[in-house]
Amino acid sequence: RMQNSRSKPCSCPSLKLREVASMYFTMVAAFLVILVVALQGSAPRESDFPYKVPLDPQGLLELSWNVSYPEQAVHFQLLIRQLQFGLLFGMSDRGEFENADLAVLWSDGHNSYFGDAWSDAKGQLHMDSQQDYQLLGARRAPEGLYLLFRRAFSTCDPKDYLIEDGTVHLIYGILEKPVSSLQAINISALHGGLQRVQLLKPNISIPELPSDMKTMEITAPDVVIPSQETTYWCYVAELPAGFPKHHIIMYEPVVTAGNEALVHHMEVFQCAAEFDSFPHYNGPCDSKMKPDRLNYCRHVLAAWAMGAQAFYYPEEAGLAFGGPGSSRYLRLEIHYHNPLVFKGRRDSSGIRLYYTATLRPYDAGIMELGLVYTPVMAIPPGEDNFILTGYCTDKCTQLALPAAGIRIFASQLHTHLAGRKVVTVLSRDGRERQVVNADGHYSPHFQEIRMLKEVVAVFPGDELITTCTYNTEDRSRATVGGFGILEEMCVNYVHYYPQTQLELCKSAVDPGYLRRYFNLVNRFNDEEICMCPQVSVPEQFYSIPWNTFNRDVLKSLYSFAPISVHCNKSSAVRFPGEWEKQPLPSITERLPEPVPRCPPASGPQPAAPEPLNLGQLRRD
């Protein structure tokens, strides 16, 4: 069932027809739907498609969608504001036009067609033998053409993209000339691009909000967006003097009208309480004028990325801010993505916090899982699939978590530019129990705090294992762990309640074992490499000749060597205990790989495009 079941004046067939059609979608049903849609005139209601994102930087293509978990399908509504001779829309592993799964609308100048297609490794288009993008309707409106279509999460068609939790790379291409056939479309000549979204939003019921709720907007002060492709803008805001402790219970984006395609993501950080004041800076985050003290504003209060909606805390918990021991200073960071290099565009976007003075039973906390920021964890160059794992061990959770455990309700995954996949798994007694959060198509350019589909309970003695997969095929030297953008991270910021003293539960390989690795490399190498203790770890990694032997031994080292565990309180002090040379947690039972669910066969569907009567496609 679609998420809004009220009767609609437009766009889609009645609910019953849609339910029937979605299960056994024959060509006859599709034709009936198109007929129904063609006879109705007003624009589809926004509430039927709660999620919305602009596909292109000019905002000419606008995608709305909803998710039906009972049907295991996504319903798409694509608004094309200035239709020319058609369009490609689809999904691919990382936003490439090769090996992509596509829905295509095209015109030969007289007739219009819609079909499910795929592109091969050379970018050549082919009509799919199994038509899984199911057209629900096409209709003109004053603002443009609406296309409605449906796609099951999993189709069991080897040419189709499997829609999973996590990031999806959507691609689009605009046809500016008529084409004689689908095969005649030249992908490389298209005006196109990509947009990243989380398609499968969690179906979470919205908690009741208190009557004394107030709002506060942390927004940029009428900034002129720089005329360059990428800008990170920093602005320091200040809470009122004597602002007492409150709970943030919800937040949402505030995006200046007209800038929806330029505001890529935004975060609000709280500054460190040990400083009495922070300079009121307003400018690019990478400017030499930015005060160094702003580097101490790193405690995340809110994070939003394009396509995300409002974020709600569970009704038992809120994120504390204000009051003693809490800084009055906040840093807003906005990532502007301006590939068309618009000049003079003004912006006052930001985040609206909803907060209450009536404190909820629990303070929410944020804990860092994964790898310590250290160069001892490194990725050789030229790797397409290199794996590093960070451990939050049973010893740490046993010591730091309350007997009743904690509840994780949201998660933000984080790597730098080489990150491709991130997953955190909960393990208990050596057996993997539950995936906390996973993103198999992770992009460092799309990071948001995601509410989890189900709350994860973590008890003392549990292990939280975070694994990151990296690609360094475009690099000529080793990539080491660290804070620099060309260094790497592997982090999962988990949001949980009740807050504990444990702020960071991470690991890295034991440095003594890494020294043994460097000695081994030196012994087996023809040319003498300086692996002397006085040379830094990054320099030693940079000087390694990356033959198969040196790569394999490093992988092996990371899979068996003892670890140094950081089981830290908020003051960056470790909990008391022995944390060096700890054994790697042993996993005796893995979670089974999820098996895609194939939709019921809907009768023979010929590999032929569906004709559409859109009149003359080009509007001059």
The residues annotated as belonging to the active site are 232, 414
User: Please, are residues 277 and 236 in contact by the beta-carbon 8 Å criterion?
Assistant: no
User: Please, are residues 239 and 330 in contact by the beta-carbon 8 Å criterion?
Assistant: yes
Q: Which of 401, 383, 376, 360 is nearest to 517 (CA)?
A: 376
User: Please, are residues 212 and 358 in contact by the beta-carbon 8 Å criterion?
Assistant: yes
CA dist 568 → 397, 482, 612 (Å): 11, 18, 62
Neighbours of 539 (CB within 10 A): 14
Using CA atoms, how far apart are residues 212 and 383, in angstroms rounded to an integer? 54
Helix (H) or strand (E) holding 572: none
Neighbours of 467 (CB within 10 A): 18
Using CA atoms, how far apart are residues 430 and 320, in angstroms rounded to an integer? 35
Using CA atoms, how far apart are residues 489 and 496, in angstroms rounded to an integer? 21
Using CA atoms, how far apart are residues 176 and 617, in angstroms rounded to an integer? 11
DSSP codes, 193-259: EEEEEE-S---PPPPPPPTT-EEEEEE--SEE--SSSEEEEEEEEEPPTT---EEEEEEEEE--TT-
Q: Which of 194, 133, 187, 129 is nearest to 158 (CA)?
A: 129
Using CA atoms, how far apart are residues 441 and 523, in angstroms rounded to an integer? 39
Backbone dihedral region for residue 123 (phi beyond 0: left; psi -120 to 50: alpha; all else: beta): left
Using CA atoms, how far apart are residues 610 and 607, in angstroms rounded to an integer? 10
Q: What are the phi and psi torsion angles at 294 (to 5°)? A: -65, -15
Using CA atoms, how far apart are residues 106 and 342, in angstroms rounded to an integer? 30
User: Please, are residues 482 and 374 in contact by the beta-carbon 8 Å criterion?
Assistant: yes
Neighbours of 596 (CB within 10 A): 15
